[in-house]
Amino acid sequence: MWPSSQRSHAWRRWYQPGVPTEIDIPDVPVTRLLDDAAERYPRRPALLFFGRRTSYRELREAVDRFADGLHRLGVQPGDRVALILPNCPQLVIAFYGVLRRGAIAVPHNPLYTEEEMLHQLADCGARVAVVLDRSFRTVRAVRAKLELEHVVVTSLIDYLPAGRKAALRLPLLQMQRKRAAITARVPDDPGVVPFRELQRPARRPVGQFPIEPSRHLAAIQYTGGTGGSPKGAMLTHRNLVANACQQHAWDLNGRPGRDVTLGVLPLFHSYGLMSCLIAPAMTAGAVVLLPRFDSDRVVRAIRRYRPTVFPGIPTLYDQVLDSPRLRPSDLRSVRIFVSGAMALGQPTIDRFQRKGVEGLIQCYGLTEASPGVAGNPLGGGARNLTVGLPLPSTDAVIVDTEEPTRVLPPGEAGELVVRGPQVFGGYWNAPLATAQTLSKGWLRTGDIAVMDENGFLTILERQRDMMKVSGFTVSPSEVEGVLRRHPAVHDCAVVGVPDERRGERVVADVVVHPAYPFSADELRRHCERYLSHYKVPTEFTPRTELPRNILGKLVRQRVRDERAMAGPDVARRG
């Protein structure tokens, strides 16, 4: 499929001098990156969390203790362990600890609803879940329907610096309220284990379980994929190590033991997991962990820690640039702003230029590729209205959407298909979806793109009907499925519309059953019950019918076109 004779690899001529076209991938588990960093830079900070500093030596020791704790719980190699945590040291410790045990890490958004959590935990068959106390209520509500044997619970307070902990213990009403805002009471249910119990030293440490990096899974990352409801992308140790090596090769000016990455992207997302956890470990870089995005808090972190690498999304950058607390000098420490997950527009590029800030590059990836696929060159060669060039050891072609064996010439739009060591092995429990997405190592991204004669890629449409809201993938069919449960909804269509802040926002056109009056507020409350906030439509528009083709299939493109023609007033009724 897609023979090599038709691929010119023209993009290699535009690599920054010194970037290799092919890379050697060490045959090691992901945990070796942590071990190597701890050996070379034991005292360098690995994690910075609200002033608390964890060195690489301390992190490795905590990881080893956690792996031994999982062993005491009966976790076996190949078992799935759910990680339901925001960005915090416990997530990093648990992720590496699961891999040390030879088990499979399955990150989840801690803000998921009961229905979303149930689907993913049931699908992956997790035996153990590591949960933030404030998310325990959701897990508890669905636990009876799952095979969960143990729930390991932790709190953000557990890894705060001593001074902050002492302040939260003061018998003042204000501090009590502040503590309540970041903690939650956890009932003493059977199988509930405090995180600290898994940090007790073992009498006989078990160490790293022997694995084959190209065969053993390191993580299952749930994604909307190239269409449909969320599926678990199976990523091997080799996939993740390969992508970390590719990103390391791309950055010739990386400074081992000295770089600082601002970790505001969620680590439960593939983009955050790689750019803010795995890749920094390759060079023993420090990661500043922020549990959630707040522009003022981000500015304070930039000022305090002087990060050199800032992975983000355009809307996040815009909000930081909008912050009245930002000073002109605050961003000068940053060498690289890695923009991904959604399109980088000219207005954001212009704002960086007006601020005199350099190092902005737009990149492209998807969960099924661990996630990095392409990036703009560093060192002044960026063309940031494109997503750049395929990374080292990565092949990319544009194929005819109707005849995917036919490679299109430069300048013609078609489906982007990629191949490389970072490409996943398939979807968990979904052989049909795997067969539709993978062929002989080639990944059909579902994205419509153009490659110019120099190899620069431009994404025209993202995964057909999939939406990107603040960098998160939203499946229209998932939202439509929830809407159709409401008795008032006879038919519906969910699409994304452009939004300056979020990239896209979700809107719904609804055909209401004749027996029910239309109520946007009622539909919104219904969606909020089953969906994360970013998936809930911001507008509900009543319609008498929806556009369908001769086979009865919904034509979402016509819905989008009709909304665009109608203008902003189309949805005021919602």
Domain limits, the chain: 52-210, 467-571
Contact of 93 with 68, CB cutoff 8 Å:
no
Distance between CA 378 and CA 444 in Å, rounded? 27
Q: Which residue has the higher pLDDT, 473 or 169?
A: 473
Percent of the chain clearing pLDDT 70 (strictly above)? 91
Tokens of 447: 């994205």
Residues 6+ apart with CB under 8 A from 59: 34, 38, 46, 47, 92, 93, 96
What own/partner pairs with CB < 8 Å and gap ≥ 24 does 326-333 have?
326/299, 327/303, 328/355, 328/356, 330/299, 330/302, 330/303, 331/302, 331/355, 331/357, 332/357, 333/302, 333/306, 333/307, 333/308
Using only the alpha carbons of the chain, give its radius of gyration. 24
Report whether pLDDT(183) > 80.
no
* Per-residue confidence band for 565, with pLDDT thresholds at 50, 70 and 90: confident
**How does the average pLDDT of the chain come out, rounded?**
90
Report whether pLDDT(1) > 90.
no
Percent of the chain clearing pLDDT 90 (strictly above)? 76
In the prediction, which pLDDT does 572 show?
Answer: 40
In the prediction, which pLDDT does 224 show?
Answer: 67
CATH code, 52-210: 3.40.50.12780
Distance between CA 192 and CA 266 in Å, rounded? 25
In the prediction, which pLDDT does 6 show?
Answer: 47
Q: Which residues of 253-275 are buried (b: 16+ CB within 10 A; e: fewer)?
A: ebeeeebbbbbbbbbbbbbbbbb
Is there a cis peptide before residue 404, judged by omega within 30 degrees of 0?
no
Report whether pLDDT(476) > 80.
yes
In the prediction, which pLDDT does 555 show?
Answer: 80
Q: Which residue has the higher pLDDT, 261 or 172?
A: 261
In the prediction, which pLDDT does 376 show?
Answer: 98
Per-residue pLDDT tens over the stretch 444-467: 998 989 999 999 999 986 656 778
Distance between CA 246 and CA 481 in Å, rounded? 39
Report whether pLDDT(558) > 90.
no
Beta bridge partners of residue 419, listed in sequence order: 395
In angstroms, the Cα distances linking 81 to 87, 99, 238, 396 are 17, 10, 19, 34
In the prediction, which pLDDT does 548 show?
Answer: 80
Distance between CA 90 and CA 37 in Å, rounded? 19
In the prediction, which pLDDT does 46 show?
Answer: 98
Report whether pLDDT(477) > 70.
yes
> For residue 435, how many C-alpha atoms fall within 13 Å in the half-sphere facing its CB?
4
Predicted TM-score (pTM) of the model is 0.87
Per-residue pLDDT tens over the stretch 363-409: 999 999 999 999 999 988 899 999 999 999 999 999 998 888 899 99
Tokens of 37: 């960093």
Q: Which residue has the higher pLDDT, 356 or 195?
A: 195
In the prediction, which pLDDT does 463 show?
Answer: 58
Cα 569 to its chain centre, rounded Å, is 34
pLDDT (average), residues 526-549 = 92
Q: How large is the greatest C-alpha to C-alpha distance in the chain, in angstroms? A: 73
Contact of 277 with 262, CB cutoff 8 Å:
no
Per-residue pLDDT tens over the stretch 39-96: 999 999 999 999 999 999 999 999 999 999 999 999 999 999 999 999 999 999 999 9
Q: Which residue has the higher pLDDT, 283 or 225?
A: 283
Give φ, ψ of 136 to 5 degrees: -60, -35
pLDDT (average), residues 334-344 = 93
* 467-571 fold: GMP Synthetase; Chain A, domain 3 (3.30.300)
pLDDT (average), residues 547-566 = 77
pLDDT (average), residues 241-251 = 97
Per-residue pLDDT tens over the stretch 20-45: 999 999 999 999 999 999 999 999 99
Q: For residue 122, give the H/E element and its range.
A: helix 114-124
Cα 375 to its chain centre, rounded Å, is 17
